[in-house]
Amino acid sequence: MKMTPYINLPGTCREALHFYAEHLGAETLFQMTYDQMPDPKLMPPGLKGDCILHATVSLGETQLHAADVPNAEPMRSAYLTLSVDSNEEAERIYAALSADDQIFMKLQVTFFAHRFAQLRDQFGVNWMLLHPRPMPPMA
């Protein structure tokens, strides 16, 4: 079994994918617009034809799916978690994702992480950023 996150955005998917490529190294593997659908009558109201119907993105070791959906609301209870290998990488990504957005927990040292943060980016996507500490084995 494999679980793949799918994010819905309100017409900002293309911009988000470009941002994630620039700042997180994401690579778009597949992308289809609403204009490319076989039946244009299925086009939802409120979106333009060049909006993203479906995209598959490679982000680190994970794939992420994304689309533009009319009236999509930002995520509230789910987070995409990025685990990184250095404090410097955590700080760089934190600076990019938190530029003008909601920070729930500033980047900081915790008992379980060299660096940890929770935030919502400019596209409404919630992120946890983690540079983990080695944890003792479970008993």
Q: Which residues contact 123 (CB under 8 A, 6 or more apart)?
A: 9, 12, 15, 16, 19, 74
Phi, psi for 13 (deg, rounded to 5): -60, -45
- Checking if the pLDDT of 15 tops 90, the result is yes
**Structural domains for the chain:** 1-71 (3.30.720.100), 74-139 (3.30.720.110)
List, for residues 84-103, the tens digit of each pLDDT value: 999 999 999 999 999 777 99
List, for residues 101-133, the tens digit of each pLDDT value: 799 999 999 999 999 999 999 999 999 999 999
